[in-house]
Structure 1
Amino acid sequence: MINGSLYSLRVYGVRGVKINPTRKNVLGNKFLNMIVGGVNIFVTNPLPINTKIVNRLVEHYASEESVEVPAEELLEVLKYVGDIDNTDFDSSKFSYCISALREKRPTVKCRLIVRIDRNISRGTGTLLSPTDRKLGDKFNNDIVLTLYRVLGDVEKGWYGHPLWIPNIKFPDNTCFYNTTD
């Protein structure tokens, strides 16, 4: 099965068909995990903790449309946000990707988009508004971390208190590989 899939990918490459693997089900991820640039990566089960810490780190950016920040700020925020079980959004892996990209491309810019008091239902997919999606897409050569602080209402499927939901996008045409045993 894997050999057949690899053959198909090679055939597409020879034919000039562009393939952009944007979801983990495109390639078997039992042993190889890919993080692809130009794609919004979002949390399915966001951490319901650390809200006050993240508030202190980013709330002052909420009045800005977007802001360029040092990579260290993104790395600090990523310590406190993520996925409960690290399946869809493993903050530590993203931190390694940021560090690796900075080493290869020291001029890469980091951008932060912060929105507060969103009243969004759980399970709606990416959660990005069309406006914020377009805004993030303008910075296709930058690392973009979008943070939404949702109100967290139980009626909306949350935990009954505010929480931060991250969405990260790496520069177009970048790809990171992580192998597991």
Structure 2
Amino acid sequence: MVVAGGFGVGKTTFVRAVSEITPLQTEALMTRASEETDDLTATPDKLTTTVAMDFGRITLDNDLVLYVFGTPGQQRFWFMWDDLVRGAIGAIVLADTRRLTDCFPALDYFESCGLPYIVAVNHFEGSELFEAEDVREALTVPPHVPVVIMDARKRYSVVETLLAMVAHALDATPE
């Protein structure tokens, strides 16, 4: 399972919240060099960034173990996405309603490669809460693609999101 989205949308938090193993994280300190390319307006307290991937594992059932790969959010790391999606059953595009345009590249990528995906709106404290259908309309997400509201900090919310993605992948993939 691949978790993608814009910079600072909660991909690392998502993987950390759900993984039953110590997650592999490739976090690096933010530097002054990245100030011109990484917009910290919505995440002023962010001190680190993913430079390769996040990796975790969760057992959903006796015969269903998911390996969860979080992509780096910055454009300069997008070259790695092709490797991360190889063999994936689906993708979750995390969206932040304060910066919806940041998830367009991930939406375009998964749409173009044909990988089943869902949109998960990560609700941040202090941000306005929108209905899933309003987000669908704003992002022009097709009707067959699920849009869910979730909180990447809460394990149960992340598990529900993963289950929604698994169900969608099963529906979207011919037997």
TM-score of the alignment, normalized to the shorter chain, above 0.5: no
Higher helix share: 2
Which has more radius of gyration?
1
Q: TM-score, normalised by structure 2?
A: 0.26
Q: TM-score, normalised by structure 1?
A: 0.25
Which structure has the higher relative contact order (CA within 8 Å, separation 6+)? 1
Higher strand share: 2
